Structure formats: structure tokens, C-alpha cells
Structure 1
Amino acid sequence: MKKNIAIIMGGYSSEVAISIKSGNVVYKHLDREKYNPFRIHILKEGWFYVNDSDDKLPVNKHDFSIEVNKQKISFDCVFNAIHGAPGENGAILAYFDLLNIKHTSAPFYQMALTFNKRDTLSILKKYDIPTAKSVYLNKGNNIDIDSIIDNVGLPCFVKPNNAGSSFGISKVHTKSEFPAALEKAYKEDSEILIESFLDGTEVSVGVINYQKETIVLPITEIVSENDFFDYEAKYEGKSQEITPARINKKQEEKVRAIAKKVYTVLNMSGFSRSEYILVNDIPHFLEMNTVPGLTEESILPQQASEAGISLTALFDNAITEALI
């Protein structure tokens, strides 16, 4: 009997449009022989089932069901394609746990943890994972820019602590650029992370559960045309994403080992894509994305394709793992 799959997309952050694009790709590629997929938009203005005619029907939040042609439909599994809140930060996953509905992401605590850049870094440092130097600020804190510069140096990155897709991030080269960078970051989040600049090769590494094993996908090298891998570079073609990465065997082995260690240490499951900077052959962890882009052009699907895994197989595996 076919399983009813709710593909949740949208969310409450600046990543709404990107998430809906990812969710529509999942909807397109799910195997119709095994699944009945339903597009569910989770938006600030409401939760809706969107049919193929783009008609919107309300979702019953009491049990996460919908009614179509007077027939109630419940879901066997939720495919999480929400970048940012409330999907990537775990909030909606706790709700599904309360309703005993399976989902394709890691447990809600792991999702909340990895969405918080500061807390992720604080744990990984205990396991000797190399990272950039960092300073953490809450909105309203007194800010001593000279002290920050003494700690992390220039240039440095000012970024929202809880945000994705490079929204709110600035690369700061001079003291005078700090006020504008802080203001930009605070528009996305009330918490800010300021990190030292790491001069090296940037790589992106997908680690997933696939056929009951934790596997590291082929590594992607990021070459941005801009000053860093910002929104324009990620989504508007201002970068090269080279898979497999142009790194030597020793570097590749180090990246693969540390990426798998990070995934294991954080007790992850489901999808992940993490960013690293190779400095003197040592991979330095930047951040982890637990709902990475899932379009045909996105990095993790590129890596899966290089590994011989189609989008249909990738998405099917995520549901299969969730239903175990």
C-alpha cells in the first residue's frame, strides 16, 4: 500500500522561496509507485496543502491532517524541506514527535543544536575539531570593537547565529565597517557570531545515512567570484561548485574523516552538508546545514549524483530510513 508523504516547505525565515523550490523538486522526484506525495506549505500566514492546480486547503494542526474531497488524509511520514525555522531548527519536528509522525530529519534536539552555530562550535571544540576563532554577541550587549578585532583579527565575518543561505553575513575588512555589518546581522537574528577569516580552500561535504550506513559523499570545492560564498554566489551563479574537489588524496582523507567524526559526535541522522576551510591541509569546521538545498543544481544532490545516487533514490532512502 502506498505511503502518504507530506513534503513540508516554506518556513518562517528569509529562506521561504528557496525552501519551496527544494520542496517542489522533492515532490517531482518521489516515486509515485511507492508514495502519494502532498505539498504542504508551512508559512507565517498559515499551513496549507497545495494541490497540482495550486489551490490551497488548510491543514488541521490538531493532528496534522488534511481533508480532500471530504476525505481525511493522514500522513505516514513527513519529508522536511524547510530551510531555517521552524524546520531546520527542530521546532516543528518536536510537534511531529508529539503526534508520533515519522520525519526525514535528525531528532529535534540535534536539529536545534546544529542550527545554533555557537552551540555547535562549543561542542566540537571539546572533540578537538579545528574551527575559526570566534566572539559571540547578544542584541543589546555593549560592543567593544577594538576588543573583538584583537580577538579575531581582520578581515573577519559577522554572521547571524541562527540563519542560513548566507542571509545577514558580512565580511568586515576595517573597523569602520563593523556597525553596518552588525546591523545587517541583527536584522536576521538577535544573536551574532563573529569569526576570524580562514585563508584556504573551501569545501562542502555531504554526510548522510544511506542504506543503513553513514556515508560521506564526494567532496565539493567552492570557488566564489565574490569576496566569500554569499547568497549571490550560492544562488545566482557567482561561484564554481567543483565536484569532486581539486584536492589531493591526503587532504581528501582528512576532510572525509573529520566530516564523518562531526556527524557522529553530534549524533546526527538524515541529511547534512557541512562547510570546511582547508588551512595548511587541516580542515576547519565552519557550520552544518541539516536541511540543505535539494534542487537539481544544489550541492548535496550534485554530490549524490557523483556517487551514482539519483534524486529519486536519495529521497526514497530518506523516507525508508525514517520509517524504520
Structure 2
Amino acid sequence: MIKNIAIVMGGFSSEVNISLKSGNVVYKHLDKEKYNAFRVHILEEKWAVVDEDDNEYTINKNDFSFVIKEKKVVFDCVFNAIHGAPGENGKLLAYLELLNIPHTSAPFYQMALTFNKRDTLSVVKSYGIKTAISVYLNKGDVIEIEKIIKKVGLPCFVKPNNAGSSYGISKVHSASELIPAIEKAYKEDTEILIESFLDGTEVSVGVIQYKGEVTVLPITEIVSENDFFDYEAKYEGKSEEITPARITKEEEEEVLKTAKKVYSILNMSGFSRSEYILVNCKPYFLEMNTVPGLTEESILPQQAKEAGISLKELFDNAIESSLNYLQ
């Protein structure tokens, strides 16, 4: 029997346009013989199914259904392609779980935890995972510049605690740059993280559940033309993403082992892509993305392709895994 799949995209954050691109790629590659796919725009001003002719059908939030030609349509599964709120921070998923609708992401608590950089770092550090030295601030806190620099050193990174796609991130080289960087980060979030600079090779690695097994995908090396892997480097071609990464066998084994361990520590399921800096052959964990970019050019699809997994297979597996999870 053909299943009705809602591909949710958009969201309430600065990442809305990136999410719409990811969602449309999922829509394009889903197996049309197995699924009736519907693009569902979740935006602050509306929740609506959008068809090929841009006609819109309002979502009934009471049961996440819609009506077309006087017929009510309900969904068998939701494919989550929302970067940021409310898809990646767990809020939408908690709602779906209350309605008993399967979705392709991890349970809402795991999504909320991993969206919060500080809390994620606190958990993984307790298991011996290496991380940068960090300082955490809430908006309104007294900013003690000398104390912060004494702890994290220069250069350092200032980033929003709950945001993605490198929005609001700055690399700070001098004490005079710290306050402007903090103000920039506060435009994205009321909580920020200031981290020490790690001098090493940056790599990104996807870990997914594939055919019932936790699978670590080939590692990608990130070489940015800019000072760091910022929005321009990620989305405007100002970086080179090399898969598989040009690292030693020892470094590869360390990253693969650490990535799988972090996925397990955080009790993850579904998609994930994590960033690490390799320093003296040891991976330092930066953060985990649980709704990574899903366009043909995005890092996780690149890694899946290197592993011999097509986008059609990747997306189909995510749906089948979520449907089987509730059985």
C-alpha cells in the first residue's frame, strides 16, 4: 500500500531557505511507486501543503491532516527537513509524537539536547570525548573580556548556542573584536558559546541508521577559503569538501570510532553529521547536526554517495526505519 509522506520544510529560523532546498530535493528523490509525497511548508505565518502548481492547502494542527477535493488526507510518516526551529530543536517532533505520527528524526529529547551546543558538550565530555575549552553566556550576563580571553585564548570562536548553518559565528583575533562578535551572536540566540581555537584539520562525518545498523559514512575534509567554515564557505562555494578526507589511517580510525561513540552516547537515531578538528591525530568534537543539508551538493549526501548509497536509497531507508520503529 502506498504511504502518504509529509516532507516538512521551512521553519522559524534564519535557515528557512536552506531547509526549503533540502525538502525539495527529498521530494524529488522519493520513490513515487512507494510513496505519495507532499511538501509541507512549516512557517511562522502558515502551515500548508504546497502542490506542483503552488496551490496551498492548510494543515489542520489538531491532527496534522489536510483536505483536498473534499477528501481528508492523513500522513503515515513525516520526513523532517527543517534545519533549526522547530524541526531540529525537537518542538515539532514532540507534537508529532503526541499524535503518534512516525518521523525520520531522533526522538524529540535527543533533538532538543543536540541542538543545544553547551548541553551536548557537557554530556560528551563526561564520557571522555575531547572538546575545545569553552565559556557560556546568557544575554544580560556581565561580559568580563579579560577573564574570557584568559580562559579560551586568542583567536577564539563566538557562536550562538542554538543555531545552525554558521549563522552568527565569528572568529575573534583580538580583545577589541570580542564585544561585536558577542552582539552578532546574540542576534541569533539569547545564549552563546565562546570556544578556544583548535589548530588542525577540520572534518565532518555522518552517522546514520542504515538497514537497521548504526553506519558511519566516509569522512569529509573541510578546506575553507575563508578564515573558517562560515556560511559563505558552506553555501556559496568558498570551500573545498574532500570525500574521503586526506587523513592518515590512524586519524581515520580515531574519527570513525569517536563518531560512532558520540552517536551512541547521545542515544541518537536517524540522520546526524558531526564536525571535528584533528589535533595531533586526536578528534576534538565541535557539534552535531541532526537535520543536515540534504541537497545533492550537501556533505552527508556526498558521503552517502561515496559509500554507494543513492539519495533515493538514503531517503527510503529513513522512512522505512521510522515506520518500523513503531511496529
TM-score normalized with structure 2 length: 0.99
Amino acid at match of 1:12: F
How far apart, in 1, do the equivalents of 2:27 and 2:2 lie? 15
Who is 2:184 aligned against? 184
How far apart, in 2, do the equivalents of 1:169 and 1:55 lie? 37
Shift of 1:96: 0.3
Structure 2 counterparts to residues 2-17 of structure 1, below 5 A:
2-17=2-17
Who is 2:81 aligned against? 81
Structure 2 counterparts to residues 44-63 of structure 1, below 5 A:
44-63=44-63
Shift of 1:309: 0.2
How far apart, in 2, do the equivalents of 1:256 and 1:179 lie? 37
Who is 1:115 aligned against? 115
How far apart, in 1, do the equivalents of 2:200 and 2:179 lie? 27
How far apart, in 1, do the equivalents of 2:182 and 2:170 lie? 8
How far apart, in 1, do the equivalents of 2:184 and 2:69 lie? 46
How far apart, in 2, do the equivalents of 1:250 and 1:282 lie? 9
Amino acid at match of 1:62: N
Amino acid at match of 2:87: G
Shift of 1:57: 1.4
How far apart, in 1, do the equivalents of 2:312 and 2:54 lie? 23
SS of the residue 1:131 aligns to: coil
Who is 1:317 aligned against? 317
Deviations 1:16-57 (A, max 9, x none): 000000000000000001000000000011101000001111
How far apart, in 1, do the equivalents of 2:29 and 2:166 lie? 27
Note the aligned Cα RMSD (angstroms). 0.3
Amino acid at match of 1:236: E
2:259 paired with 1:234: no
Structure 2 counterparts to residues 155-234 of structure 1, below 5 A:
155-234=155-234
SS of the residue 2:146 aligns to: helix
Amino acid at match of 2:83: H
How far apart, in 2, do the equivalents of 1:224 and 1:61 lie? 42
Amino acid at match of 1:143: I
Deviations 1:171-206 (A, max 9, x none): 000000011101100000000000000000000000
How far apart, in 1, do the equivalents of 2:52 and 2:188 lie? 33
After superposing on structure 2, the runs of 4+ consecutive aligned residues of structure 1 that deviate more than 3 Å are: none
Shift of 1:249: 0.5
Q: How many equivalent pairs are there?
A: 324
How far apart, in 1, do the equivalents of 2:72 and 2:322 lie? 23
Deviations 1:144-165 (A, max 9, x none): 0100000000000000000000
Structure 2 counterparts to residues 249-288 of structure 1, below 5 A:
249-288=249-288
How far apart, in 1, do the equivalents of 2:130 and 2:252 lie? 16
How far apart, in 1, do the equivalents of 2:142 and 2:243 lie? 44
How far apart, in 1, do the equivalents of 2:170 and 2:68 lie? 46
Who is 2:247 aligned against? 247
Who is 1:104 aligned against? 104
Shift of 1:93: 0.2
How far apart, in 1, do the equivalents of 2:160 and 2:112 lie? 15
Amino acid at match of 2:292: P
Shift of 1:221: 0.1
How far apart, in 2, do the equivalents of 1:248 and 1:172 lie? 30
SS of the residue 1:228 aligns to: coil
How far apart, in 1, do the equivalents of 2:318 and 2:269 lie? 10
Over the matched positions of the two proteins, sequence identity in percent amounts to 75
TM-score normalized with structure 1 length: 1.00
Amino acid at match of 2:15: E
Who is 1:126 aligned against? 126
Who is 1:39 aligned against? 39
How far apart, in 2, do the equivalents of 1:57 and 1:321 lie? 28
How far apart, in 2, do the equivalents of 1:178 and 1:149 lie? 9
Stretches of structure 2 that go unaligned for 5 or more consecutive residues are none
How far apart, in 2, do the equivalents of 1:56 and 1:3 lie? 21
How far apart, in 2, do the equivalents of 1:319 and 1:236 lie? 30
How far apart, in 1, do the equivalents of 2:207 and 2:229 lie? 20
Which deviates the most, 55-64 or 109-118?
55-64
How far apart, in 1, do the equivalents of 2:124 and 2:104 lie? 24
SS of the residue 1:102 aligns to: coil
Which deviates the most, 306-315 or 50-59?
50-59
